[in-house]
Amino acid sequence: MSAQYVKSPEAIARLTRQQRRVTQDDKTEPAFQNEFWDKKDAGLYVDVVSGEPLFASTDKYDSRSGWPSFTVPIDPENIVIKTDKAFGMVRTEVRSAHGDGHLGHVFDDGPVEAGGLRYCINSASLRFVAEADLEKEGYGDYRGLFTTSTPTASTSTEEISR
C-alpha cells in the first residue's frame, strides 16, 4: 500500500483519556467494559494512532476473555512483539509498528486449528473500519479479506442491489 502510517503529535492530541492511558502508558482497559470485545461486524481494526491496519474481523473470535481476540494480524510487519516483565510475570506484549502504541498481549491459548495464538487486544488501541467503508476510509486494498455471501447489518441497500 502507498499509505504512510505515522505517530504524530496531532494524532496523540486527539486520543481520549482511555486511549492515551492504554496506548501511550501501556495500561489495560477493563474486561467486558470496552467497545469491541463482542463486536461481530465485518471490517478492519486499525491502530487508533497511526491508522495502520492490524486485524480483520475474519480473524476475530470470542475467547471469553472480555477483550477483542484475534488469531493472526493482517500484516505481521505492522506488529512489534516485546517481552513484558511487569507485575512479576513474563508476557508477550503486542505493539503497533508505526504508531508505537501498546495494543495488548499475545498468548498461546488460541484456537489450535487457527495456529494456536490469541492476540488479546485493548479496544482503546483500535479504530474499527466497517467493510462498507473500506474504500471511503482508504483501505480498499483490504476488501479481498472479506467475502459477503449474505447481507449484514452494515451492508447498505445500494451494495445489495449491485
Residues acting as catalytic residues: 120
C-alpha to C-alpha distance for 56 and 129, rounded to whole angstroms: 10
SS3 state at 43 = strand
CA-based max dimension of the chain:
56
Cβ neighbours of 153 (radius 10 Å): 8
Nearest to 43, CA basis, from 124, 141, 146, 121: 146
Torsion of CA 45, 119, 39, 103, to 10 degrees: -50
C-alpha to C-alpha distance for 13 and 154, rounded to whole angstroms: 30
